[in-house]
Amino acid sequence: MIRAALAVTMLLASPLAGQEQTQIASGAILRGLDKLNGKVVDIELPAGRSVQFDRLTITLTECRYPAGNPAGNAYAGLQITETGREGVVFSGWMVASAPALSAMEHARYDVWVLRCTTS
């Protein structure tokens, strides 16, 4: 039992063979959708900053992309809160190529990652 737990821990702690190296970007381009009125907005957000999208406050903690391919599959660390609602609406990583993989569950709004920005 202990050996199995140790093996799993070592596997998760070490980089996987063939795993792509990533680079940290200076920011990200997100898309926001207000499902109530159909309003779609592209949001350029520097890392470490927050922006207001209607009732949502979106904070980008980090955006990463495949090394040497800034147009490649981006993933962004986001924290999203809503005015008048306690706690966070979303906290985690969103992947540009698979927005449903880690989607924000909200009745009115959708937010997803389009790409990272490098300058």
Query: pLDDT tens digits, the chain, 119 residues: what are they?
Result: 454 443 434 433 434 434 579 999 999 999 999 999 999 999 999 999 999 999 999 999 999 999 888 777 899 999 999 999 999 999 999 999 998 888 999 999 999 999 999 87
Domains contained in the chain, number: 1
pLDDT at position 11 is 39
pLDDT at position 19 is 59
pLDDT at position 71 is 74
**Which residue, 35, 19, 93, 29, is CA-closest to 61?**
93
**Which residue, 43, 82, 39, is CA-closest to 63?**
43
Domain contains 105: yes
Instruction: Provide the residue range defining the domain that includes 50.
Output: 21-117
User: Phi, psi (5° rounding) for residue 37?
Assistant: -115, 0
Contact (Cβ atoms closer than 8 angstroms) between residue 114 and residue 30: yes
Domain contains 97: yes
Domain contains 46: yes
What contacts 42, CB < 8 A, 6 or more positions away? Answer: 29, 30, 31, 32, 114
Output the pTM of the full model: 0.79
Domain contains 6: no
Domain contains 61: yes
